Amino acid sequence: MSYQVHIIGGGMAGSEAAWQLARRGVRVRLSEMRGGGDSTPAHQGNGLAELVCSNSFRSDDDEKNAVGLLHHEMRRCDSLIMAAAERARVPAGSALAVDRDVFSSAVEEALASLPTLEVVRERVDSIPSEGQVIVATGPLTAPSLAASIGSATGADSLAFFDAIAPIVHHDSIDMDKCWKASRWDKGEADYINCPMNRDEYVAFRQGLLDGDKTEFREWEANTPYFEGCMPIEVMASRGEDTLRFGPMKPVGLDNPRTGRWPYAVVQLRQDNKLGTLWNMVGFQTKLKHAEQVRLFRTIPGLEQAEFARLGGLHRNTFINSPVVLDRQLRLRRDDRIRFAGQITGCEGYVESAAIGMLAGLMTAAQFAGKDWTPPPRTTALGALLAHVTGDAEAETYQPMNVNFGLFPPVDSSVKKKVRKEAYTARGKADLTDWLPSLA
């Protein structure tokens, strides 16, 4: 073979794994089916590392937030995904949000600069029968390859539904009714706020409940949603005030026209560097497109909204990693095969890239003839890896974002109000000690 490692899937995890390997001189073939005549129900284009849901990498606070700590750790490991995100950054308060086109282009440009990496636009229908392989096909794995994965793992794949939120053209938003602010006026005024009174909120919630929704196919029945990306109409069905304590929470948002908090609020977050596209925060939905346009135009300030993208629903596939993978992300039945990214059951852009990064680093150590030393479990990388590869309950395994609940507890003498800072300080110190072990 002309390559040493075959990576299947050019999303967040596959791109990061390819970067970590090829920059260390390992010859890599990166196969991506988009651009080769195939696509998925959720992708819009053919770019590597395309963001299909939100454009946010969530909190960038590395002092009090687990995902912010993960950002910090990945940057210190020379993560391609984090470097590209910095180039594509758009205003989002303390969050890290990106212009999705700039981000994808930055990833492709960096990978194209590596002489030992070949990107091939092709669909791979089965796991190769020889050589080192990293499967990073993500939650939208093609059916033929999913069947091959099921055969290789000896276990049925698990699945859940994931919904994506609409994107609105900024110039179609009525700023005479909306205003820009961040909650409690912390940081820059990075969000557009659309206020609702009680009657408007009650009518809107009822519209969500009554709206025409995507029908489930028979084979999709009884597949659970991921709680962190719940369709807004499903949240609405859980109680009259569920939305007001969730994505439509008005707390800390003073309407400058009334001096009071609205009864409920719809927030939009900038989606591209130009500020021309804005994402409806928390409005993932399975409403049919015509119904979305009708209902979302009842929101004050969005009466004339033009949508660059409407919401949608897709089926996500992942393996029961605690059962089928070892501590190095290798298939227990065939240790030449590693899995990376969301197909392992991690959730979120950054988490997916982090597992891809670790898979790349593990494989690089193998080619360098070095023993792999895993990141300490006190780090965000180590906690996430431990969850995926054995700490989670196999019988109830579900996708998980990184959070401090995955970390070993800090000393009980640490007061609760500074506990998050204690987690991050410990993680940073332990990461520093671990970094010299990398190949």
pLDDT tens per residue across span 189-205: 899 999 999 999 999 99
Which residues are known binding-site members? 9-14
Q: What is the DSSP letter of 216?
A: P
Strand ranges (E), 242-343: 264-270, 277-280, 307-309, 312-318, 330-331, 334-339
C-alpha dist (Å) from residue 14 to 30, 88, 284, 306: 8, 19, 25, 34
What confidence score (pLDDT) does residue 187 get?
Answer: 78
318 - beta bridge partners? 158
List, in sequence order, the alpha helices (H) in 173-214: 198-210
Among 350, 381, 357, 346, CA closest to 16: 357
Report pTM: 0.83
CA atoms within 13 A on the CB side of 80: 35
Helix (H, G, I), strand (E, B) or coil at 287: strand
For tokens 């919401």, the residue is 311
Rounded to whole angstroms, the Cα distance separating 280 from 164 reads 10
CB-count burial class (<10 Å; 0-12, 13-18, 19+) for 37: exposed
List domains and CATH numbers for the chain: 5-157+319-437 (3.50.50.60), 164-314 (2.40.30.260)
Residue type, 137: T
Which residues are known binding-site members for FAD? 9-14
What band does 41 get if pLDDT is binned at 50, 70 and 90?
low
Q: For residue 56, is pLDDT > 60?
A: yes
What confidence score (pLDDT) does residue 163 get?
Answer: 75
Q: For residue 1, is pLDDT > 60?
A: no
List, for residues 159-216, the tens digit of each pLDDT value.
777 778 999 999 999 999 999 999 888 878 899 999 999 999 999 999 999 999 987 7
* Cα–chain center distance at 130: 31
Residue type, 62: D
Q: Give the number of other CB atoms < 10 A from CB of residue 210.
A: 11
> Mean pLDDT for the chain?
92
306 near 172, Cβ under 8 Å? yes
Helix (H, G, I), strand (E, B) or coil at 341: helix
What band does 157 get if pLDDT is binned at 50, 70 and 90?
low
319 near 344, Cβ under 8 Å? yes
What confidence score (pLDDT) does residue 180 get?
Answer: 96
